[in-house]
Amino acid sequence: MKNYLKEYFKLLRFAKAYRGILALAGLCMGISTLFEGATLGMIVPLSDRILTNKQIVIPGKLPPFLSIIVDKLNAVEPLVFLKFIIIFVPVLFLLKGIFTFLQDYLMNLVGQGVVQDVRNNLYGKFQDLSMEFYGRKRTGELMARVTNDVGIITNAISYALKDLIFESMKVAFFAFVTFYIGFKISWQLPLVAFVIFPCIMFPVIKIGKKIKKFSLEIQKKVADLNSLMAETIQGAQIVKAFCREDYERERFKEINRHYYKFTLKSAKRMLILSPFTEFVGVLGAVTILWIVGNEVISGRLSFGIIGAFLAFLMSMIRPFKKLSNVYAINQQALTASARIYDILEEEPQVKEREGASEIKDLNQEITFKDVEFKYGDDDEFTLGKINLEAKKGEVIALVGHSGAGKSTLVGLIPRFYDPQKGSICIDGVNIKKFKIKELRSLVAVVSQDIVLFNSTIRDNIAYGKEKAQEAEIIEAAKKAHAYEFIMNIPEKFDAVVGDRGFRLSGGEKQRIAIARAILKNSPILILDEATSHLDSVSEKLIKEALYILMKGKTSFIIAHRLSTVQQADKVVVFDKGKIVEVGTHQTLLRADSLYKKLYDLQFSI
Ligand SMILES: Nc1ncnc2c1ncn2[C@@H]1O[C@H](COP(=O)(O)OP(=O)(O)OP(=O)(O)O)[C@@H](O)[C@H]1O
Ligand SMILES: [Mg+2]
């Protein structure tokens, strides 16, 4: 229970910014509870004084203020009463309606505000988190957090929290009145209530726990569904190429079936709660009716009082039913909230130090000193004891078998990941000491997997430079040899490239990515297989453009086609995460080297 409350308060923290509105909503709830009580109380004069034209009789001694009221009511003419009630009752209902609307609206205001905030916070957090996080999580799972889980939380805040406050107020107020009248009538009445209450609450809590368990499963399945969809939509072509449509259909069906199963199980338990509480409530009510019925028949109690008593008692059933749902909804929301907090409390692996220093340019060199790196909790290091120096203006070529760790190494320079051991320094200062944004602005990357955003070609080229001039964009496109094909598209620079740049060929995408890097014009350049998708003619043209671009810049180029790396100042040969050879194209080719083997292999084909 203590844990439950702790988790629940943590959930409510999402609505912290809306305390003022919540308080106002609470006030409206209090007022509408009072109005509802007043409308129920009208039963007493209505049935005793008007419908039966008798006196109001309450057994036992009343406090002075109540007996004065009862005496006054008994003295008023029934006809006067009738006129009064005809005006007063609609006014009461109208006021109750206004306050009910207000409280509902205010709670929705809070709920929708929370959705907006939590979505923004989550998305903002995604932007802050490091590559390491994206390596661990699936896209679909993250999407489920922003869509599904946030929705569940809103439900808990807009509706369940409202019910919790409003219905509890009603229960408290009505219970007070019922008990008060109940004690006056007979000591047995409150006793009956004491027996009923635990009978209702025990199963409610028990079932609530079960629902929490199912909701965990359901949310897992939603994440699975999302992931599978994201994968197969992105990989639609692969699915078709390998004729795996039926397999994918079955895989989806299987997860969907599990989702269905758990949702039904959860729904069954949630739905059973209401009829159950109602039934137990009715059992209590008939017992009470038996007790008070005898009192009325014997004339010790007027009909109006018993009417009001029963009305207050019955009015508690609905709030109780709603409260039992609150528990179930909250159980679902708590799991959703825990998953959202998991992300919000996630620390980015790559962090900026406090008081990080500025870096505006690379003046001398980049050095790797005894750098060791592994992804996640792998046992083996992906990179081992890397020592490397790149002087300003040098072109460093990284070559080696696939999976040797070339992309991993260059990814350490803009701190996509931090190495576990050793240090990387720019001009003698560890890059961890710099402001991350400034460090990254020094590096332009053309990565191995090219990502174009769903936007125009112009926006895609200008992605790395805010407020780029049109002329600069055109110049970058020309340098990357992209201008010609862009001009052949009817919409030219305004052409929207679809999801993941679907409408462009691999080589075209690559040229856009190169133009993007050219426009960014950073002192450090990383080209990871930047010409791999190009035919030999385009490659030759772009290679020349790239070498012009690389002038005065410190560049790291990774290329499987060794013809690209021949002009590099330094060729670094990788094998299984280690540097095995360093030299120039000429010196390495002369020796009995891995480089020569790679070279021979390529040119003998
Ligand atoms: N995000 C990641 N999480 C875990 N392991 C990874 C990740 N990226 C790469 N690896 C692993 O690290 C090793 C080195 O990968 P890397 O991408 O650096 O190789 P590479 O030399 O660039 O290969 P290629 O020439 O094929 O691009 C590989 O064994 C790969 O499986
Ligand atoms: Mg690579």
**Residue 61 in this model has a pLDDT that exceeds 80:** no
pLDDT, tens digit (0-9, with 9 covering 90-100), for 545-557: 777 778 788 999 8
Q: How far is C-alpha 476 from the chain's CA centre? A: 38
Instruction: Verify whether ligand 1 is closer than 6 Å to residue 130 (CB atom).
Output: no
Instruction: Verify whether ligand 1 is closer than 6 Å to residue 136 (CB atom).
Output: no
Q: If you compute the radius of gyration of the chain from its CA atoms, what whole number of angstroms results?
A: 37
For residues 18-44, average pLDDT: 91
pLDDT of residue 258: 92
* % residues pLDDT > 90 (the chain): 19
Q: Which residue has the tokens 């059933």?
A: 317
The ligand 1 atom nearest the CA atom of 560: 25
pLDDT, tens digit (0-9, with 9 covering 90-100), for 121-135: 999 999 999 888 888
For residues 47-63, average pLDDT: 79
**Residue 424 in this model has a pLDDT that exceeds 60:** yes
**Residue 534 in this model has a pLDDT that exceeds 80:** no
Instruction: Verify whether ligand 1 is closer than 6 Å to residue 3 (CB atom).
Output: no
Note the CATH architecture for domain 2-216+266-344.
Answer: Up-down Bundle (1.20)
Ligand with the closest atom to the CA of 402? 1
* % residues pLDDT > 70 (the chain): 97
Whole-angstrom distance, CA of residue 530 vs CA of residue 527: 5
Instruction: Verify whether ligand 1 is closer than 6 Å to residue 403 (CB atom).
Output: yes
**Residue 605 in this model has a pLDDT that exceeds 70:** no
Tell me the C-alpha to C-alpha distance, in Å, between residue 44 and each of 55, 60, 124, 290, 294: 10, 17, 58, 20, 19
DSSP character string of 421-486:
EEEEEETTEEGGGB-HHHHHHTEEEE-SS----SSBHHHHHGGGSTT--HHHHHHHHHHTT-HHHH
CB 25 within 8 A of CB 120: no
**Residue 501 in this model has a pLDDT that exceeds 60:** no
Instruction: Verify whether ligand 1 is closer than 6 Å to residue 448 (CB atom).
Output: yes
pLDDT of residue 249: 93
List own/partner pairs for 223-229 with CB under 8 A and 24 or more apart.
223/138, 223/140, 223/141, 223/144, 224/140, 224/255, 225/140, 225/252, 225/255, 225/256, 225/259, 226/139, 226/140, 226/141, 226/143, 226/144, 227/138, 227/139, 227/140, 227/141, 228/140, 228/252, 228/255, 229/140
pLDDT, tens digit (0-9, with 9 covering 90-100), for 243-292: 888 999 999 999 999 999 999 998 998 888 878 877 887 887 788 778 77
Worst-scoring range by mean pLDDT, 124-133, 167-176, 587-596? 587-596
Distance from the alpha carbon of residue 406 to the mean position of ligand 2, in angstroms: 6
Whole-angstrom distance, CA of residue 572 vs CA of residue 413: 16
Q: Do domains 2-216+266-344 and 443-521 have the same CATH topology?
A: no
Model confidence at 502, in pLDDT bands (50, 70, 90)?
low
User: Best of 378, 399, 408, 575 to mutate for ligand 1, by most ligand atoms within 8 A of CB?
Assistant: 408
Instruction: Verify whether ligand 1 is closer than 6 Å to residue 412 (CB atom).
Output: no
Fold of the domain spanning 443-521: Rossmann fold (3.40.50)
Instruction: Verify whether ligand 1 is closer than 6 Å to residue 408 (CB atom).
Output: yes
What is the chain's mean pLDDT, rounded?
Answer: 85
**Residue 363 in this model has a pLDDT that exceeds 80:** yes
Q: Which residue has the tokens 């496109």?
A: 477
Domain boundaries, the chain: 2-216+266-344, 443-521
CB 575 within 8 A of CB 404: yes
pLDDT of residue 500: 55
Most confidently predicted of 320-329, 371-380, 419-428 = 419-428
Task: List b or e across 113-127, with b for residues whose CB sees 16 or more CB atoms inside 10 angstroms.
Answer: bbbebbeeebeebbe
Whole-angstrom distance, CA of residue 381 vs CA of residue 405: 10
Worst-scoring range by mean pLDDT, 97-106, 281-290, 532-541? 532-541
pLDDT of residue 24: 95
Model confidence at 366, in pLDDT bands (50, 70, 90)?
very high
Q: Residue of the nearest CA to atom 26 in ligand 1?
A: 402
Model confidence at 409, in pLDDT bands (50, 70, 90)?
very high
Instruction: Verify whether ligand 1 is closer than 6 Å to residue 406 (CB atom).
Output: yes
DSSP character string of 208-259:
HHHHHHHHHHHHHHHHHHHHHHHHHHHTHHHHHHTT-HHHHHHHHHHHHHHH
Query: If residue 281 lies in a helix (H) or strand (E), which one and from where to where?
Result: helix 245-297
Q: Residue of the nearest CA to atom 8 in ligand 1?
A: 408
